[in-house]
Amino acid sequence: MTRFSSALAFTASLLIGVCLATSSVASDLVVVSNNTGKVLRYGPTGAFIGEFAGISGARGIADDGAGHVYVSSANGSLAKYDEDGGLLDFVATSLFGSLAADSNQIVYVTSFFDDSISAFDFSVSPPLSLGAFVASGSGGLDGPTAMTFGPDEDLYVSSRISGQVLHYSGSSGAFLEVFATPGGNGPQGLTFGPGGDLFVANNSTDLVVRFDGTTGAALGAFATPTFDATDGMTPVFGPDGDLYVSGSYTSDSIERFDGTTGGFIEVFVSSGSGGLDFPTQFIFVPEPGRAAGELVAAAGLAAAARRRRN
């Protein structure tokens, strides 16, 4: 082995080692504290770190899987940040509902009272308003509370007042079907799990319920939070594969459940920690999977360098 190839092998192993180390570090949790309008950040153990970007009036938060965080604010803006809270861009808007974002940096905002979903393109600067993505009342949409993209890249929305989860085309916003019926005036946060099933927080029953990710068939209760979920309950799978559930304005906490069995593990963020007051939407940063992508990129660079020398 030549001196160059030895150095190259060392560099490649170093890059891969760094990426492996990064992938093994748990992500931080970033959560909207609805009653204070702040976005708060907690470390891998649930300990409070500080405010995220000093935001005020926050209502919704989402990430696009490419290192960008989006926050809607009742103060009249929808903003894009990096994962450290650095402001990248913003657009003035009166919309400040729950958020979802896709890999193309298109951000979607619910309008609870107008029963619609609007879209904004953050891949350009200044961001461009795309207007209504889901028209008012489309498919019986009544009180959209939360939304998520499925493995099929379509959009799934909690229609709270009708007690349904509605399925829309991810490309056009066209209504496709009533996907699931959690029932009651209660379906709120929702997320797809690692195995492709849909998990819905239902404040009418104080449960996180599970549905077949393909057919929408009910599979029963999955997790039982210890708090009274009067409002705002949101489930999110963490990078460790466990399920995290935000509490209501009466508990001001976030609980952790086994991602396979749904068994209660711990109160991850204790009540009121860091001033947490009515937690709603939250995300993990860096997004799960980014470190793995960096590892592949590092390995690819090393392989390309070897080819150039041969």
Q: Which string of DSSP letters, residue by residue, matches 183-235?
A: -SS-EEEEEE-TTS-EEEEETTTTEEEEE-TTT--EEEEEE--SS---S--EE
What is the pLDDT, as a whole number, of residue 186? Answer: 79
Q: How far apart are CA 98 and CA 111, in angstroms?
A: 8
pLDDT tens-place string over residues 101-150: 999 999 999 999 999 999 999 999 999 999 999 999 999 999 999 999 99
Look up tokens 């907690």; give the residue: 42
**Which DSSP symbol is given to 74?**
T
What is the pLDDT, as a whole number, of residue 287? Answer: 58
Q: Are 176 and 194 in contact (CB under 8 A)?
A: no
pLDDT tens-place string over residues 46-86: 999 999 999 999 999 999 999 999 999 999 999 999 999 99
Residues paired with 199 in a beta bridge: 191, 210
Taken in order 299, 103, 198, 28, the sign of the CA dihedral is positive
For the chain, residues with pLDDT lower than 70 are 1-26, 229-230, 287-310
Q: Tokens representing 284? A: 């993990």
Which amino acid appears at position 222 of this protein? Answer: F
What is the pLDDT, as a whole number, of residue 184? Answer: 76
What is the pLDDT, as a whole number, of residue 290? Answer: 41
Q: How far apart are CA 84 and CA 99, in angstroms?
A: 19
Taken in order 72, 75, 80, 84, the sign of the CA dihedral is negative
Look up tokens 């989006």; give the residue: 70
The alpha carbon of residue 104 and the mean position of all alpha carbons in its chain are separated, in whole angstroms, by 15
What is the pLDDT, as a whole number, of residue 21? Answer: 38
Q: Are 154 and 167 in contact (CB under 8 A)?
A: yes
Domain 28-287 superfamily per CATH = TolB, C-terminal domain (2.120.10.30)
